[in-house]
Structure 1
């Protein structure tokens, strides 16, 4: 079976697809991972076939990082042409000879490519988005509505794709030569199905979902033989007590310098060593004490097991990594589904209360101390999650879709 996997977004969006590609290959299938060019290196290093696609949208994000609201507005005007370049790159896979397409809805054009190929497609999501329930509100809801409005809040899914629908419709016609109306993502998912790529121990399926919507378990990569942390980081970790990990991934702070200073001051008040991953712009340290080690990024699977607490933005990829490694968490959410996951891991007892609003040194220090007391609960959750093999579950589901 030839499976085209298409994903778009940050590293947290791509890594589960790398895990799925690896699981498909182990099962004797032929995966092809299409993802932003700069995020395909890990898959290629594992010997997995990749189709690197245009990643100009990331260069735009880096260009405006920390430059204020006006720069962000200007960037928004430039985003649509860059996304069209992504879609045009995706159209070059029309000769991929796939039997099924598995895609992240962020990829925008993948289900339409499946239409051209005449093969089934199925969405894959690390967060519930298109499957309404009365049990909790949409993770994209900016506020927690009254319980009776929970189901209504799921209409936000249609709003997420609204800015791109006209562009995608034009691309579908011009680049793929497909006629007729362009179905929206909500319609596609309801018709074709979805793979929910999170652990039921993190968020169980509500009782008003059909069985096929049940979460599969995390899609986790097996450890790479011979892979190691950078030597300087390894030496720092060996030189003292397990540090606090601080990283906010692809998030951007309005005032990176002030945000970074609050983090450094909070770490100082906590009296703990730390590893700072600067990511894409939220953290911009210039001078740091010897108790803080700064790096661009590091593999969570290798680093987090050697830390005491993980401080991050609440992206589900980082949430999953911390859960798998049994590390208690402090989450300062920025946007989207991050507040939802921040509340959820706090409810599970494995994270401090989410940090909202302006980050302060005292607030961060108190949250780190609180999280450290939850280490036992974090280890217990990790033990339950370790029994899962979400990627293997998904391979079986894809096999059923491909032969249907």
Structure 2
């Protein structure tokens, strides 16, 4: 089987597709992963065939983070030509043989490449986006609506795509030669095949979802047994009690110095050592005390099992890593689907109430103390999540989908 995998976005969007590609390779298939050029070295390290896509849009996003509304508006004027170049790179994929296409909706072009190839398409969703339910609102809906409006909130995914629809329609005709029958991406996903790649122990399928929409488990990279921590990190961990981990991944805030000050003082008030991962700049520490270690990043599967509490933004990739590590979590959600997962973790009993609004040292210290009491529940849930194999389940579904074509 020759699966074509297309993912676009940050590392949190691409790494699960790389895990899926490795699973397909291990099962004897010949996957190709198409993703932004910046991830080519990552794929090469795992022996996955890789096709680079334009990453201009994401470089632009990186450059305007934290620079205010005016910079964002100026950058937005450049998005359409960049999007067209990204789509053109995807159109070139149609020249490759493939039996099935698995795509991230952020690619925008994935299902139309499958249409050109005449092969089945599967949407790989790392969070629920398109299959509606009245049980809970869309995770990306900006506010929490009254219960009766939950189902209506799921229209937001189509609204996010709508500004680019004319560009996609034109590209579909000009680059792929597909003249008739254009269907918006949101409708294609809703009526087509989908792989929901999160743990059912984190969020089970609500009543009313078809069996094909049930979550199959996280797409997780195998533990990297060859990674060696920097000596200063290994030494810090060995010096005393497990520290708290604080990291906000690729998220950013308007005032990283203020957030960092609250984090440092909150850890001190709670009597905790801390490892701060600066990531993409949400934290910007200067000089720190001896009981704080600052790093840029470290593999979550290595570091999180060695900490007492994970403090983070609520991105589903970090949520998954902390669940597998069996550590309680403290979540300061910043945007998008993060408030949704923060509420879900609190409901499951592995995190105190989310720290919405302005983060203060006192609030963080209290949350750290509350989180420590949730460690037994976190360890129990880790046993359930660790027993799942979302990649193997996805490989079987993909094989069935490709096989149904022949």
1:44 has 2:44 as partner = yes
SS state of the match for residue 129, structure 1?
coil
Query: Cα–Cα, structure 1 residues 72 and 264, in superposed 2: closer, same or farther, change >3 Å?
Result: farther
Corresponding residue for 1:375?
Answer: 375
Determine the C-alpha separation between the residues in 1 that align with 2:264 and 2:81: 38
Deviates more, 1:390-399 or 1:161-170: 161-170
Q: Is the 8 Å Cα contact of residues 108 and 168 (structure 1) preserved in structure 2? A: yes
Query: Cα–Cα, structure 1 residues 143 and 377, in superposed 2: closer, same or farther, change >3 Å?
Result: same
Corresponding residue for 1:10?
Answer: 10
1:56 has 2:56 as partner = yes
1:256 has 2:256 as partner = yes
Deviates more, 1:183-192 or 1:352-361: 183-192
1:275 has 2:279 as partner = no
Determine the C-alpha separation between the residues in 2 that align with 1:210 and 1:69: 42
What is the correspondence of 1:1-400 to structure 2 with a 5 Å cutoff?
1-400=1-400
Determine the C-alpha separation between the residues in 2 that align with 1:56 and 1:279: 20
Determine the C-alpha separation between the residues in 1 that align with 2:381 and 2:125: 22
Shift of 1:89: 2.2
SS state of the match for residue 311, structure 2?
strand
SS state of the match for residue 35, structure 2?
strand
Shift of 1:36: 1.5
Determine the C-alpha separation between the residues in 1 that align with 2:272 and 2:41: 33
Q: Is the 8 Å Cα contact of residues 9 and 106 (structure 1) preserved in structure 2? A: yes
Shift of 1:276: 1.4
Normalising by structure 2, what TM-score?
0.96
SS state of the match for residue 33, structure 1?
strand
Q: Is the 8 Å Cα contact of residues 6 and 104 (structure 1) preserved in structure 2? A: yes
Determine the C-alpha separation between the residues in 2 that align with 1:79 and 1:236: 44
Determine the C-alpha separation between the residues in 2 that align with 1:64 and 1:368: 33
**What are structure 1's unaligned runs of at least 5 residues?**
none
Query: Cα–Cα, structure 1 residues 263 and 14, in superposed 2: closer, same or farther, change >3 Å?
Result: same
CA deviation map 1:220-248 (0-9, x unaligned) = 22123322223322222222221111111
Shift of 1:181: 4.5
SS state of the match for residue 245, structure 1?
strand
Shift of 1:139: 1.1
Shift of 1:95: 2.1
Query: Cα–Cα, structure 1 residues 259 and 225, in superposed 2: closer, same or farther, change >3 Å?
Result: closer
Shift of 1:174: 2.4
CA deviation map 1:67-125 (0-9, x unaligned) = 22222222222233332222222222222211110011011111111111111111011
Q: Is the 8 Å Cα contact of residues 134 and 208 (structure 1) preserved in structure 2? A: no
CA RMSD of aligned residues (A): 1.5
**What are structure 2's unaligned runs of at least 5 residues?**
none
Query: Cα–Cα, structure 1 residues 28 and 170, in superposed 2: closer, same or farther, change >3 Å?
Result: same
SS state of the match for residue 30, structure 1?
coil
Determine the C-alpha separation between the residues in 2 that align with 1:193 and 1:400: 11
Shift of 1:402: 0.5
Deviates more, 1:377-386 or 1:180-189: 180-189
Determine the C-alpha separation between the residues in 2 that align with 1:331 and 1:77: 34
Determine the C-alpha separation between the residues in 2 that align with 1:283 and 1:167: 37
- In the TM superposition, structure 1's runs of 4+ consecutive aligned residues that sit over 3 Å from their partners are none
Determine the C-alpha separation between the residues in 2 that align with 1:81 and 1:254: 28
Q: Is the 8 Å Cα contact of residues 62 and 281 (structure 1) preserved in structure 2? A: no
Shift of 1:377: 0.6
Q: Is the 8 Å Cα contact of residues 197 and 217 (structure 1) preserved in structure 2? A: yes
Query: Cα–Cα, structure 1 residues 58 and 287, in superposed 2: closer, same or farther, change >3 Å?
Result: farther
Determine the C-alpha separation between the residues in 2 that align with 1:62 and 1:125: 23
Query: Cα–Cα, structure 1 residues 287 and 56, in superposed 2: closer, same or farther, change >3 Å?
Result: farther
CA deviation map 1:285-325 (0-9, x unaligned) = 22222222222221111111111111111111110111011
